[in-house]
Structure 1
Amino acid sequence: MYRYDEFDQQFVSARVEQFSDQVRRRLSGELSEDQFKPLRLMNGVYLQLHAYMLRIAVPYGTLNTRQLRKLAHLARTYDRGYGHFTTRQNLQFNWPSLEQIPDMLRELAEVQMHCIQTSGNCIRNVTADHFAGAAADEIVDPRPYAEILRQWSSLHPEFSFLPRKFKIAVSGAAHDRAAVRIHDIGLQVVKNDEGQIGFTVFVGGGLGRTPFIAWTLRDYLPEADLLTYCEAILRVYNLYGRRDNKYKARIKILMHEAGLDTVRAQVEEEFERIRGGVLTLPEGDVARIRAYFAPPAFESLPAVSLVETQTAARDPGFAAWVATNTHAHKVPGYVSVTISLKPVGGIPGDASAEQMEAVADLADAHAFGEVRVSHQQNLILPHVKRDDLPAVYRGLVAAGLATANAGLVTDIICCPGLDYCSLANARSIPVSQRISERLGDPARQAEIGPLLIKMSGCINACGHHHVGHIGILGVDRKGEEFYQITLGGSADEVSAIGDITGRGFSSAEVVDAIDTIVNTYIAHRASPDETFLAAYRRLGMQPFKEALYGNA
Structure 2
Amino acid sequence: MYQYDAYDQQLVDERVAQFRDQTRRFLAGELPEDEFRALRLRNGLYVQRFAPMLRVAIPYGLIAAKQMRMLAHIARRYDKGYGHFTTRQNIQYNWPKLEEVPDILADLASVQMHAIQTSGNCIRNVTSDHLAGVARDELLDPRPYCELTRQWSTFHPEFNWLPRKFKIAFSASQSDRAAVRVHDIGVQIVRNETGELGYRIYVGGGLGRMPMIGPLIKPFLPELDLLSYLEAVLRVYNRLGRRDNIHRARIKILVKDIKPEKFAELVEAEWAQLREGELKLRHADIEAMRQRFDQFTYDPAAAQDRSYAKHLEQDSAFASFAKRNVLAHRVDGYAVLFVSLKSPSGVPGDISAEQMEVVADLAERYSFGEVRATHDQNLVLADVQHKDLYTVWKTLREHELATPNIGLLTDMICCPGLDFCSLANASSISVAQDINDRFDALDHLHDIGELKLKMSGCMNGCGHHTVGHIGILGVDKHGEEWYQVTLGGSAGNDASLGDRTGPSFSRADIAEAVERIIDVYLEARDSEEESFLACYRRIGMAPFKARLYAEEAVEAA
Shared fold, TM over 0.5:
yes
Residue 193 of structure 1, CA deviation: 2.0
Distance 1:37 1:174 in 2: 42
Q: What residue is the counterpart of 2:398 in the other structure?
A: 398
What does 1:21-32 align with in structure 2 at a 5 Å threshold? 21-32=21-32
- Residue 551 of structure 1 deviates from its aligned partner by 8.8
Partner of 2:464: 464
Aligned 8 A contact 1:174 1:188 in 2: no
- Aligned Cα root-mean-square deviation (Å): 1.1
Deviations 1:317-354 (A, max 9, x none): 10011110112211111111110100114200000000
> 5 Å matches for 1:423-502?
423-502=423-502
Show the 5 A alignment for 1:305-320. Answer: 305-320=305-320
Show the counterpart of 1:355: 355
Secondary structure, counterpart of 1:285 in structure 2: helix
CA offsets, 1:487-524, max 9 Å, x none?
00000011000000000001100000000000110000
Q: Which whole-Å deviations, capped at 9, do the CAs of 1:142-171 have from their partners, x for residues lacking one? A: 100000000000000000100000000000
- Check whether the contact 2:302–2:385 (CA below 8 A) recurs between aligned residues: no
Residue in 2 that maps onto 1:55: 55
Map of 1:3 onto structure 2: 3
Counterpart for residue 410 of structure 2: 410
8 Å CA contact retained: 2:342, 2:411: yes
1:331 matched residue in structure 2:
331
Determine the structure 2 residue equivalent to 1:202. Answer: 202
- What SS does structure 2 have at the residue aligned with 1:16? helix
Note if contact 1:25-1:31 (Cα within 8 Å) is conserved in structure 2: yes
CA distance in 2: counterparts of 1:52 and 1:443, whole angstroms: 41
Structure 2 counterpart of 1:169:
169
Query: 1:138 & 1:226 partners in 2: Cα distance?
Result: 19
Unpaired runs of 5+ in structure 2? 553-557
Q: Map of 1:97-112 to 2, 5 A cutoff?
A: 97-112=97-112
Supply the distance in 2 between the matched residues of 1:140 and 1:437 (Cα, whole angstroms): 41
8 A contact 2:3–2:293 mirrored in 1: no
Q: 5 Å matches for 1:71-82?
A: 71-82=71-82
Pairing of 1:282-293 with structure 2 (within 5 A): 282-293=282-293
C-alpha distance in 1 between matches for 2:68 and 2:191: 35
Match of 1:420 in 2: 420
Is 1:123–2:103 an aligned residue pair?
no
Q: Percent identity?
A: 55
The AA in structure 2 aligned to 1:187 is V
Shift of the alpha carbon at 1:303?
4.7
Correspondence for 1:13: 13
After superposition, give the CA deviation of every residue in 1:419-457 in whole Å (9 maximum; x if it has no partner).
Answer: 000000000010011111211210110110000100000
How far apart, in 2, do the equivalents of 1:328 and 1:204 lie?
33
Structure 2 distance, partners of 1:474, 1:223, is: 42
CA distance in 2 between partners of 1:122 and 1:287 (Å): 28
Contact 1:301 1:332 in 2 (8 A): no
- Deviation digits for residues 37-80 of structure 1, max 9, x if unmatched? 00100110000000001100000000100000000000000000
Q: With structure 2 as the length reference, what TM-score do the two structures score?
A: 0.98
Deviation at 1:32, TM superposition (A): 2.7
1:219 is displaced (CA, Å) by: 1.0
CA offset at residue 204 of structure 1? 0.3
1:508 counterpart SS class: coil
SS in 1 for 2:242: coil
CA distance in 2 between counterparts of 1:495 and 1:345 reads: 31
For 1:550 and 1:108, locate their aligned partners in 2 and report how far apart those are by CA, in whole Å.
54
1:148 aligns with 148
Q: How many pairs were matched up?
A: 552
For the 8 Å contact 1:133–1:295, the answer to whether it is kept is no
The residue that corresponds to 2:367 in the other structure is 367
Deviation at 1:208, TM superposition (A): 0.4
Contact 1:135–1:327 at 8 Å: present in 2 too? no
Aligned twin of 1:233: 233
Matches of 1:481 and 1:276 in 2, distance apart?
Answer: 55
Show CA shifts across 1:158-200 (max 9, x none): 0010000000000010110000000000001111122221110
Q: SS of the counterpart of 2:112?
A: coil
Contact (CA 8 Å) 1:172, 1:188: kept in 2 or not? yes
Deviation, 1:302, is 5.9
2:510 equivalent in structure 1:
510
Match of 2:555 in 1: none
Give me the whole-angstrom Cα distance separating, in 2, the residues matched to 1:152 and 1:18. 21
* TM-aligned CA deviation for residue 315 of structure 1: 1.0
Q: Could you tell me whether the CA contact under 8 Å between 2:2 and 2:294 is conserved in 1?
A: no
Answer whether contact 1:488 1:496 (CA < 8 A) is retained: yes
2:543 counterpart letter in structure 1 = P
Q: Tell me how far apart the structure 2 counterparts of residues 271 and 534 of structure 1 sit (CA, whole Å).
A: 40
Residues 113-170 of structure 1: per-residue CA shift (max 9 Å, x gap) = 0000000000000000000000011001010000000000000000010000000000
Contact kept in structure 1, 2:139 and 2:173, CA below 8 Å? yes
Deviation at 1:388?
A: 0.9
> What's the CA shift string for 1:365-408, capped at 9, x where partnerless?
11000100001100001111111100110110122101000000
Extract structure 1 runs of 4+ deviating beyond 2 A. Answer: 292-295, 301-305
